Structure 1
Amino acid sequence: MKKPLKILGKFILGILVTLLILFAVVYLKYNESLPQGSKGAEADAMATKMLTALNYDAYKNTRYLSWTFRGDHHYVWDKDQYKVVVSWYDVKVNLNLKTPTTSTVMVDGKNITSEEASNYIEKAHSYFNNDSFWLVAPYKVFDEGVTRSIASNAAGEKGLLVTYSSGGTTPGDSYLWFLDENDRPKGYQMWVDIIPIGGLYASWDNWQTTETGVPLSSLHTLLILDIDLQNIKTWN
């Protein structure tokens, strides 16, 4: 019995050492400090150009958005009423974004109440904050609590640095947006609380124009990880 346990222990240790080495390599190659930006008219003008390229008026006037995040999380968002149906596996949460405590929960077709329901509501809210950001982040650059500045990364590339001082699940996160020749986002570098490596780049690809005229990106590549959004629809 001791020999198999010893072999298993060596195997697990080997995996941990390999992961640590991989993390160190990625950290040394990609980690950057958050750049210092310059706030003011130039930053606001760049943000406005991006919104114009993305038909912000169409987004503002769209009431409903639905999508699937990485095949697991499903959403139907009533933007006007601040409500969203969040479902994953056998869980369905009718989430009220303004007053989450009034949200309702069903698991396997049965209503759930009390402490168990609050755990599902909190999880649904966290899922929505993350997964909707990967869908509509460019449209949020003038949200309350957001600061905008012009900044350059370590390679000297100039972009729009957006910092969220409030809202969401992890306030304080920053994103350095880079735009293409048509002022449409092509990707950003991230300085976020949940990722210990600063400045990782995520692309914004596979743009599609929805039924209400809203351009949305359905694919993001982060290192070797693809973050895909499926079944994107909008309507009024």
Structure 2
Amino acid sequence: MIHSELRLKPARLLQLLSVFTFLFLAGCSGGGSSSGSGSGEVYPAQPGFNEKGSDKKAIEVADKMMEAMGGYDAWQNSRYIAWTFFGQYNIWDKKESLFRHEKGKTVSILAMSKGGGRVFDNGVEETDTVLLYNKLSTAYTHFVSNTYFLFMPYKMKDQGVTLKYRFEAKGPDGKPADVVRLTFDRVGVSPDNMHDVWIDKETHLPVLWAFYGSKEDKDPAFIRKWADYKEFNGMKLALNRDSQMDTLRISHLKVVETVPKDLFLSPTPIDKSKIK
């Protein structure tokens, strides 16, 4: 089992367990075999989704979006997802809550539900407890941001999320779109963030995303396109966030049933072509 090779010595495990278990439970609902799969609903809400505080129209728009994207079961039934984004390579085992992150020659492997992990720099394992904690915390932050940047539409009914319908507006191609706002209540690493999502009224796919650092902000910190949709294991995923910046394109995207153990646990960056 991969999990057994990611456990830390008792002192380190006790230090990390409470932090990563809390972060995982608070910020990652919707991964693996969480509730809702097989319920027959197009877009089942995860436990803790603020349905009472959400607009009925916003929920209806989200449900149509999920149907257009291939349905929630396709998301639930996907296990290993690998991709490159912003110069970082990621492999996420949704079923076992494992995450491999490569940035430069630094490799971090998180066993989030177990509160453990390992970090390697230039193939050498980090053994200092404080440095290990800091590096695993950084890797977890990358996990949250990188997964959300790719899978946000599948997490609009997660724990702590409230959906509000804002207005109809033109998307980046000039076509009408419904704008839905997401706010968060005490979940994730940045619960004060806020998002507006433009969902095309014809295709029902997200086409634009505005990110606000705080619910108090009047203007977004950035706006990104969602374009170049491709199908992966029944899911439609957008590969382009900004056509002018190659770093904001998602590449090496694979959705597979298995990943060789020696690749997932490799202390050095792997050959991406071997994930297939």
TM-score, normalising length from structure 1? 0.74
Task: Report the alpha carbon displacement of residue 153 of structure 1 after superposing the two structures with TM.
Answer: 8.0
Name which of structure 1's ranges 52-61 and 150-159 shifts more when overlaid on structure 2: 150-159
Alpha-carbon distance in structure 2 between the residues aligned to 1:171 and 1:165: 6
Within a 5 Å distance, the mapping from 1:118-157 to structure 2 comes to 118-152=133-167
Match of residue 30 from structure 1: none
Asked whether the equivalents of residues 146 and 166 of structure 1 are also in contact (C-alpha less than 8 Å), the reply is no
What is the match of residue 167 of structure 1?
A: 187
CA distance in 2, matches of 1:91, 1:135: 22
Per-residue displacement from partner, 1:138-166 (whole Å, max 9, x unpaired)?
Answer: 10001001001111389997411111223
Q: Partner letter of residue 170 of structure 1?
A: S
What's the counterpart of residue 99 of structure 2? 84
Q: Quote the residue 1:112 is aligned against.
A: 126
Structure 1 match to 2:67:
52
For 2:111, the aligned partner's letter is: N
Question: Per residue, is there more strand in 1 or in 2?
Answer: 1
The 8 Å contact of residues 105 and 117 in structure 1, kept in 2 or not, is answered as yes
1:137 Cα offset (Å): 0.6
Q: SS where residue 98 of structure 1 aligns? A: helix
Displacement, 1:98? 2.9
| Stretch deviating more after TM superposition (86-95 or 133-142) | 86-95
Secondary structure at the aligned position of 2:157 is classed as coil
| Structure 2 residue 188 is the aligned partner of structure 1 residue 182 | no
Secondary structure, in 3 states, of the residue corresponding to 1:167? coil
Q: Is the 2:179–2:199 contact (alpha carbons within 8 Å) kept by the matching residues of 1? A: yes
Question: What TM-score results when the alignment is normalised by the length of structure 2?
Answer: 0.64
Measured against aligned partners, the alpha-carbon deviations of 1:70-92 in whole angstroms (never above 9, x if no partner) come to 2x211110001111111111111
Any stretches of 5+ residues in structure 1 without a counterpart?
1-37
Going from structure 1 to structure 2, the CA distance change for 1:39 and 1:170 (only over 3 Å counts) comes to same
Partner of 2:83: 67
Distance (Å, rounded) in 1 between the aligned partners of 2:231 and 2:177: 28
Runs of 4+ in 1 over 3 A off after TM superposition: 153-158
Q: Deviations over 1:124-145 (max 9, x none)?
A: 1111111111110110001001
Name the CA distance, whole Å, in 2 between partners of 1:111 and 1:201: 38
What's the CA shift for 1:221? 2.2
d(CA) in 2 for partners of 1:119, 1:75: 19
What letter corresponds to residue 235 of structure 1 in structure 2? V
Q: Does 1:220 align with 2:234?
A: no
Aligned equivalents of 1:109, 1:154: Cα separation in 2: 50
1:83 and 1:41 map into 2 onto residues whose CA distance is 35
Q: Secondary structure at the match of 2:149?
A: helix
Question: Alpha-carbon deviation of 1:121?
Answer: 0.5
For structure 2, the residue ranges without an aligned partner over 5 or more in a row are 1-52, 171-175, 258-276
Shift of 1:225: 4.9
Q: For the pair shown, which has the larger CA radius of gyration, 1 or 2?
A: 1
